[in-house]
């Protein structure tokens, strides 16, 4: 495949669409604005190409939508898979601008979700629009609540499995470099139990918080973290912690949420937490497998952008898609800066967005058309 030309193949107003999407707060867990964003994209496509098939659940707690064009039932499709949710903006004092103002300064569009992953969503929309115009069989998957466990993708996996997917692009922020996988994610709720007593006589009680502190200190030294030649090393992070009910009461309950990034199936990690004497109970909040695509693939070899040797550090909906479409190569590849994902002052270069539109256009034009 020859490299795409600098000019964008699509005449769609990509900057205008990105501005509209970023100005809409679509924080994970709130289905209404996520549903609105999906319908905005669908309305744009239908205005240009009315003959579309739409499957999905936009009324449920984790909306999703699968958009396809006309093609014979067993036609192999090129899929673009995008989540529409974002993480919260956090404390606004850390931002130099309104995270939902979606303004442009020096060729950079600023706001929450620009890099993760609304720029990728816009580039994918342009690619799908061009593909449909050219008779290329495509599938456009829009999901919700990716940031809290790929919940929309999990709800949509049966539709992906029935879709005859030939390859998948997940347009997350990679600086437009192609990546072939990522570690999995295992989020575990760990609970400790104690005995309440007056804070002036702590010897009469048993502190659940002290128990939790003890087990977390041990985890730093003893947690069985594995490693993999491609995916890298497993990690764990203490993401949330709470316990107790008042300063003058010995706490009878404490709780922590652990974020593991995994290279295996997580069974050894779960067993370690379960076996600690201080732990009363554990629950796996999310358990997503790692993803790896072999570079020894003709479609991968023909992609116009360079393929990175390393995986991305974060998880994506690819964890679900790889299981739903096991024979399809999956790449994580899109505009945006990984270091700005989930950070204050998130932004994306419009030149990078244009480059993604051009590259995706080259990929869709190289996909076999429907006779």
Catalytic residues: 85, 146
Beta strands 279-288 and 253-262 are unpaired
Tell me how crowded residue 201 is: count the other CB atoms within 10 A of its CB: 9
Q: What is the 3-state secondary structure (H, E, C) of the chain?
A: CCCCCCCCCCCCCHHHHHHHHHHCCCECCCHHHHHHHHHHHHHHHHHHCCCEEEEEECCCCCCEEEEEECCCCCCCEEEEEEECCECCCCCHHHCCCCCCCCCEECCEEECCCHHHHHHHHHHHHHHHHHHHHCCCCEEEEEECCHHHCCHHHHHHHHHHHCCCEEEEEECCCCCCCEECEECEEEEEEEEEECECCECCCHHHCECHHHHHHHHHHHHHHHCCCCEECCCEECEEEEEEEEECCCCCECCCEEEEEEEEEECCCCHHHHHHHHHCCCEEEEEEEEEECCEECCCCCHHHHCCCCCECCCCECCCCCHHHHHHHCCCCCEEECCCCCHHHCCCCCCEEEHHHHHHHHHHHHHHHHHCCCCC
By the 8 A CB rule, do 260 and 190 touch? no
Task: For residue 170, list its beta bridge partners.
Answer: 332
Tell me, rounded to whole angstroms, the distance of Cα 114 from its chain centroid: 13
């Amino acid at each position: 495949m020859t490299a795409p030309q600098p000019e964008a193949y699509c005449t769609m107003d990509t900057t205008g669409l990105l501005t509209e999407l970023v100005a809409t707060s679509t924080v994970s867990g709130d289905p209404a604005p996520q549903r609105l964003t999906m319908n905005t994209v669908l309305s744009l496509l239908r205005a240009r190409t009315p003959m579309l098939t739409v499957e999905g659940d936009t009324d449920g707690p984790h909306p999703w939508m699968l958009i396809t064009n006309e093609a014979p039932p067993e036609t192999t499709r090129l899929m673009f898979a995008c989540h529409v949710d974002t993480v919260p903006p956090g404390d606004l004092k850390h931002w130099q601008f309104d995270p939902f103002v979606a303004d442009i300064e020096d060729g950079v569009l600023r706001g929450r979700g620009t890099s993760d992953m609304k720029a990728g969503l816009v580039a994918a929309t342009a690619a799908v629009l061009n593909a449909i115009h050219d008779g290329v069989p495509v599938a456009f998957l829009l999901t919700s609540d990716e940031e809290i466990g790929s919940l929309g993708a999990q709800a949509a996996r049966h539709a992906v499995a029935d879709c005859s997917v030939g390859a998948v692009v997940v347009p997350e922020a990679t600086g437009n470099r192609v990546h072939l996988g990522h570690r999995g994610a295992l989020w575990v709720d760990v609970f400790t139990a104690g005995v309440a007593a007056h804070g002036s006589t702590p010897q009469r009680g048993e502190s659940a918080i002290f128990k939790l502190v003890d087990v977390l200190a041990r985890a730093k030294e003893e947690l069985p973290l594995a490693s993999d030649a491609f995916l890298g090393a497993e990690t764990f992070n203490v993401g949330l912690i709470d316990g107790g009910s008042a300063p003058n009461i010995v706490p009878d309950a404490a709780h922590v949420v652990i974020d593991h990034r995994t290279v295996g199936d997580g069974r050894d990690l779960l067993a370690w937490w379960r076996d600690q004497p201080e732990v009363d109970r554990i629950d796996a909040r999310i358990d997503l497998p790692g993803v790896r695509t072999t570079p020894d693939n003709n479609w991968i070899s023909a992609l116009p952008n360079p393929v990175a040797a390393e995986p991305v550090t974060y998880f994506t909906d690819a964890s679900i898609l790889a299981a739903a479409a096991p024979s399809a190569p999956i790449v994580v590849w899109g505009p945006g800066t990984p270091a700005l994902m989930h950070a204050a002052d998130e932004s994306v270069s419009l030149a990078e967005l244009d480059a993604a539109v051009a590259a995706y256009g080259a990929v869709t034009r190289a996909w076999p058309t429907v006779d």
